Chains A and B, each alone.
Chain A
Amino acid sequence: MLVRRCPWRSVQLHQFWRPRQIHTREAIYDKRWPDWEVVIGIEVHAQIKSRRKLFSESFTSRPGETPNTTVSAFDSAFPGTLPTLNPKCVELGVRTALALNSKVQPHSAFDRKHYFYSDLPAGYQITQRYAPLASGGYIKLSKGDVSVGITQIQLEQDTAKSTFDGLRRTSLIDLNRAGSGLMEIVSEPDMRSPEETADYVRTLQAVLRCVGSSDGNMEQGSFRCDVNVSVNKHGHAHGTRCEIKNLNSVKFMMIAITSEVFRHIELLESGRSVPQDTRGFDENKAETFNLRSKADSPDYRYMPDPNIPPLLLSEEYIETIRKSMPDLPDATRARLLNLGLSERDTDVLMAIDSGREVGFDGELGKGAVYYFDSLAQQRDPRVVVNWMTHELIGQLTARKETFSDNPVSVEQLGELIDLVQNGKITGTSGKLLLKHIIANRSSSAPSVLAQELSLEAVSEGDSASTRAWCVEAIEALPDEAEAVRQGNPRVLNKLVGKVMQLSRGRADAQTARVVLEDVLRR
């Protein structure tokens, strides 16, 4: 009865005395370390892409912001301040949990983790030690039918940033980041190689970006990885793990894991044991180094935060979020293929889409897929994707621009495609028109531009013009005309090309072909 009245207690027992579940996977033989199995798990700290901080009204800061400008009294731990949970952060956490097939807990709570450091103004970090936001879940990697288990997802505060000024021998503190929301996403130790780990990180980044919960940028520090590595002989129990902290790119993470694996193997093969360390990574030497051993690990004196009431999430709330969630990459991919798009076009579209900017507070960025979807309403998706991937993106790439620079509105490209599809302009004219819009950053309607540029197609009734261009083409290319007359139909294409050139693309190639054949037969 008493235990039931201390809700965090039962959770604590469940969490910490549970035997570590390590999913058994078929042995993978890696030629770098043929006798050894490598076991890897990751803790990711992803900054929540919310406009405001987790417990205060101040704005979250962007990289490059003037230090100590987005700081409230609460962020700097002034006496008398109290936290107020930002519901947007909860929503983005729930979105993430749903995207990772994790069970959102109807009851979660916040705890304080204590340690003294200058980047932690309150002397404690508010986190979710005993009752996390969500537990369980998995994520499917992109290669080789591998599923990585998710242990739990918790919300917590970010710390301030401290920079050591070696010259002045001073630590500089920037409180802009202090109190921003983080999601700690803990994986099961389900990965077996540095490559799988990289795949996990990239897949997770894509999911977070897709649901808009984080921009997942490792280099800028909005997505930070602590990696746990252990090795064991095939068929043996798992080895002692070491944690490598603060890896800030996928490349360095892979190098760090590889070097750590070799270090463990070397220790074990020389008959020594691996001590349970927390390690840093030296990018220049490409090796890890000891930060602290297990004996030195601090006692964080976790305590349920007495200010923040338990977070109770109703089934209804979770369902509302589930329904309003953007499609996950897998679902989007399936949907696009279902529309009749080729694998290649789908890949191109999604690759471009993944580079879109993630909006604040879960506002969905308008990327390439959104652009495609808007265009494909009441239009043939295959035609649309052709125009997008071949013409629009092709021309942008030729100008060394990216999709985010795209000046062509959905309405413009839509009208342009319709003009071509309805025979108002030819495909060639359409491409020319698109080039014109991009080059001149024109916002005029394509129909108006077509008129201004005299790009309107010759109408079917206007056979006189086509006939005139055909006659002109035959006169210009007498040898080719003769060859056709002699029964070489392939040369006809050259004459059609000439007609198109003479008409500046306005003539319809098919009509020109018929007329040419007719003129030559006479």
Chain B
Amino acid sequence: MSVGVYPFRSCGSSCTRSFATSNLRRSAAIHAEHAQLLNKSTNALVSFPTKNHNPNPHGPLSHLTVAVKDNICTTHLPTTCSSSMLRHFTSPFDATAVELLKAKGATIIGKANCDEFGMGSLNVNSIHGPVVNPYQSPDEKHIPRAEREQRSAGGSSGGSAAAVAAGLCDAALGTDTGGSVRLPASYCGITGLKPSYGLISRWGVVSFADSLDCVGVFGKSMDTVKTVFDSISSYDPKDPTAATPHTRERAKALAESLLSTLDANLSDPDLSSLRIGIPQEYFPSELNITIVTAVRKVLERLSSLGAQLIPVSLPSTPYALSAYYVIASAEASSNLARYDGVQYGTRSPLLPGVDKSKPGNVYAHTRSAGFGVEVQKRILLGTYALTADAFDNYFLQAQRVRQRIKADFDSAFRVPNAQLSNPSPNPDGVDILLHPSAIRSAPRLDSDAVSGLGPYLQDVMTVPASLAGLPAVSVPAGSAADGWPVGVSIVGQWGSDELVMCVGKVIEGTTNEDDSDPNFAFDFAFGSIVDAVGRIDAT
């Protein structure tokens, strides 16, 4: 095992190492062999190309190795969605995002494990088995791998996150419907971007919930994430929900003035024009207190660079999780109706004596056998939400909550939403929101947190940005008391992906410095947030 590919990070600091230097030293073939070996311990990747064929070896991304989540279509590898239903399915076409990466010379090293059809927060609902978080806490360095505690890599894009964290590849594509990129990035201690809805084409992304699904990018550094994002964020006429070039331009113009004042590449960037909102609703009672400590350190550093910290309120946040599960499940029940074993995919042979004249009998058999428990649960919930009796009280109600959440965000941001026809600027607003990515560090795979209601609660911090279609990036922010990684999320107005990544890079730079100045003085704003957190904790 060469030094360059040492898979386990001891702390957040190694993530700034350039992917280019680490990878140019080894050939693709050695890498592939190596990758399979490393993969055994994490179960991150589920299929590998038989030969490493790069049709564009001189493209701008020819130095880049990428893993692709198994719900994104590839012609050269199966796309199973971690479901028994698509166990042997290979798509006849490449997803647009994959096509763009290939065209620019990136090497696809394999397909990444995930929760079945993207449904889950811990990557345990998979026919390929759970993904094991490759992070190695400093105390465990000398314990043999088999005896270390096994923690979840987060989900649903757990395989993508683990593959990057373990050094199997430079970057990975995931999908984020309600936090499926940000949560695993946080648990694995890497960077994960969920871009604005509509920027990366969904053509070839197997739909879980169309109105929420986004292709996301993982990397060990913000630079890698940005390189990949820039390569695949372009208008695609094949995606009817894609942001048009006009809207993209508009959003870019709106973000221009602030971006020009920030230079994340400086060692001490001047953040005096940056207004950071701290949403009080994102510090719920379930939040582990050592995570608050990590977030506080990040805020201290940003404040020391001149950023203004402003407490904000997004009052509809408490309803977001319920609305999310109604909408996502309703759309899932619709999108997954196609898996019936008639056109493609698994078809379970009927038991003798079944009345075949009723389609219900034939379909139910295949669908009961082909879908996992979690997927079935959500299909049933979504089907119920769409029935004539429940539609008003569940589906429409959830849509109303979604509108309120969007309105909450729009009134919080200084920059107006470029998607609105008559946006009005809000001079008192903030430029970005900052909050913990998750309520805790990665749970143990054998703990109670991976069953019951626990997995659903994991999404509480991430679903509001999904419902509003906003860009959000989770960047490593040190570790919790248990020594495992903590992530902070930066959320921006629609289309301000570049700003979000820019602030992410600043945080990345400061987190890697040695621990903060002990003489840091709380400013007034931050003090009030801590008060707010205290109040929430008390209730």
A residues apposed to B, CB below 8 Å:
2, 5-6, 9, 73, 76-85, 112, 114, 116-118, 121-124, 173, 299, 301-303, 306-309
- Find out whether the CB atom of B338 lies under 8 angstroms from the CB atom of A122: yes
- Find out whether the CB atom of A6 lies under 8 angstroms from the CB atom of B403: yes
Most buried by A among B207, B338, B360: B338
Residues of B within 8 A of A303 (CB): 330-331, 334, 386, 395
A80 with B403, Cβ < 8 A, contacts A124-B337, A301-B387 known = no
Complex CA gap A72/B399 in Å reads: 32
Let me know if B210 is at the binding interface, CB within 8 A: yes
- Find out whether the CB atom of B396 lies under 8 angstroms from the CB atom of A77: no
Complex CA gap A121/B81 in Å reads: 19
Complex CA gap A76/B342 in Å reads: 10
- Find out whether the CB atom of A116 lies under 8 angstroms from the CB atom of B360: yes
- Find out whether the CB atom of A85 lies under 8 angstroms from the CB atom of B359: no
Shortest CB–CB separation between residue A462 and chain B, in angstroms?
Answer: 72
Chain A contact residues: over half helix, strand or loop, or mixed? loop
Let me know if B206 is at the binding interface, CB within 8 A: yes
- Find out whether the CB atom of A307 lies under 8 angstroms from the CB atom of B240: yes
Residues of B within 8 A of A80 (CB): 72-73, 79, 91, 93, 95, 203-207
A5 with B403, Cβ < 8 A, contacts A124-B334, A301-B386, A308-B240 known = yes
Complex CA gap A263/B391 in Å reads: 37
Residues of A within 8 A of B207 (CB): 79-80
Residues of B within 8 A of A121 (CB): 338, 342-343
- Find out whether the CB atom of A77 lies under 8 angstroms from the CB atom of B343: yes
A116 with B238, Cβ < 8 A, contacts A299-B387, A306-B211, A307-B210 known = no
Complex CA gap A306/B343 in Å reads: 23
- Contacting residue for A116 out of B73, B86, B363, CB 8 A: B363
Complex CA gap A116/B91 in Å reads: 23
Shortest CB–CB separation between residue B393 and chain A, in angstroms?
Answer: 13
B residues apposed to A, CB below 8 Å:
72-73, 79, 81, 86, 89, 91-93, 95, 202-207, 209-211, 237-241, 330-331, 333-334, 336-338, 340, 342-344, 359-360, 363, 383, 386-388, 391, 395-396, 399-400, 403-404
- Find out whether the CB atom of B331 lies under 8 angstroms from the CB atom of A306: yes
Complex CA gap A124/B388 in Å reads: 16
Residues of A within 8 A of B383 (CB): 301
> What are the 4 A-B residue pairs with the smallest beta carbon separation, nearest first?
A123-B337, A301-B386, A306-B211, A306-B210
Shortest CB–CB separation between residue B79 and chain A, in angstroms?
Answer: 7
- Contacting residue for B91 out of A5, A78, A84, A307, CB 8 A: A78
- Find out whether the CB atom of A84 lies under 8 angstroms from the CB atom of B73: no
Residues of A within 8 A of B239 (CB): 82
Shortest CB–CB separation between residue B410 and chain A, in angstroms?
Answer: 12
Residues of B within 8 A of A309 (CB): 240-241
- Find out whether the CB atom of B334 lies under 8 angstroms from the CB atom of A123: yes
- Find out whether the CB atom of A116 lies under 8 angstroms from the CB atom of B337: yes
Shortest CB–CB separation between residue B473 and chain A, in angstroms?
Answer: 24
Shortest CB–CB separation between residue A7 and chain B, in angstroms?
Answer: 10
- Find out whether the CB atom of A82 lies under 8 angstroms from the CB atom of B344: no
- Find out whether the CB atom of A122 lies under 8 angstroms from the CB atom of B202: no
Q: Could you list 18 further interchain pairs (A-B, Cβ under 8 angstroms) beyond the known A2-B404, A79-B89, A117-B359?
A: A6-B400, A6-B403, A76-B343, A79-B81, A79-B91, A82-B202, A82-B240, A84-B237, A114-B386, A121-B342, A122-B338, A299-B387, A299-B388, A301-B383, A302-B391, A303-B395, A307-B240, A309-B240
Complex CA gap A124/B86 in Å reads: 20
- Find out whether the CB atom of A77 lies under 8 angstroms from the CB atom of B73: no
- Find out whether the CB atom of A114 lies under 8 angstroms from the CB atom of B337: yes
Residues of B within 8 A of A77 (CB): 338, 343
Residues of A within 8 A of B344 (CB): 76, 78
Q: Which residue of chain A is the closest to B241 with respect to CB atoms?
A: A307
Residues of B within 8 A of A124 (CB): 334, 337
Residues of A within 8 A of B336 (CB): 123
Most buried by B among A85, A299, A303: A303
- Find out whether the CB atom of B240 lies under 8 angstroms from the CB atom of A73: no
Q: Which residue of chain B is the closest to A304 with respect to CB atoms?
A: B399
- Find out whether the CB atom of B359 lies under 8 angstroms from the CB atom of A2: no
Shortest CB–CB separation between residue B507 and chain A, in angstroms?
Answer: 33
Q: Which residue of chain A is the closest to B83 with respect to CB atoms?
A: A79
Q: Which residue of chain B is the closest to A6 with respect to CB atoms?
A: B399
Complex CA gap A114/B399 in Å reads: 20
Shortest CB–CB separation between residue A155 and chain B, in angstroms?
Answer: 15
Shortest CB–CB separation between residue A76 and chain B, in angstroms?
Answer: 5
Shortest CB–CB separation between residue A110 and chain B, in angstroms?
Answer: 10
Complex CA gap A77/B93 in Å reads: 13
Complex CA gap A153/B209 in Å reads: 29
Shortest CB–CB separation between residue B219 and chain A, in angstroms?
Answer: 24
- Find out whether the CB atom of B73 lies under 8 angstroms from the CB atom of A5: no
- Contacting residue for B334 out of A79, A112, A116, CB 8 A: A112
- Find out whether the CB atom of B240 lies under 8 angstroms from the CB atom of A122: no
Q: Which residue of chain A is the closest to B337 with respect to CB atoms?
A: A123
- Contacting residue for B403 out of A2, A82, A123, A299, CB 8 A: A2
Most buried by B among A2, A82, A307: A82
Residues of B within 8 A of A308 (CB): 240
- Find out whether the CB atom of A83 lies under 8 angstroms from the CB atom of B240: yes
Shortest CB–CB separation between residue B397 and chain A, in angstroms?
Answer: 9
Residues of A within 8 A of B237 (CB): 84
Complex CA gap A173/B341 in Å reads: 13
Complex CA gap A77/B339 in Å reads: 9
Residues of A within 8 A of B337 (CB): 114, 116, 122-124
A118 with B342, Cβ < 8 A, contacts A73-B92, A79-B73 known = yes
- Contacting residue for B396 out of A9, A81, A112, A299, CB 8 A: A9
Residues of A within 8 A of B395 (CB): 303
Q: Which residue of chain A is the closest to B345 with respect to CB atoms?
A: A79
Shortest CB–CB separation between residue A166 and chain B, in angstroms?
Answer: 12
Complex CA gap A302/B386 in Å reads: 7
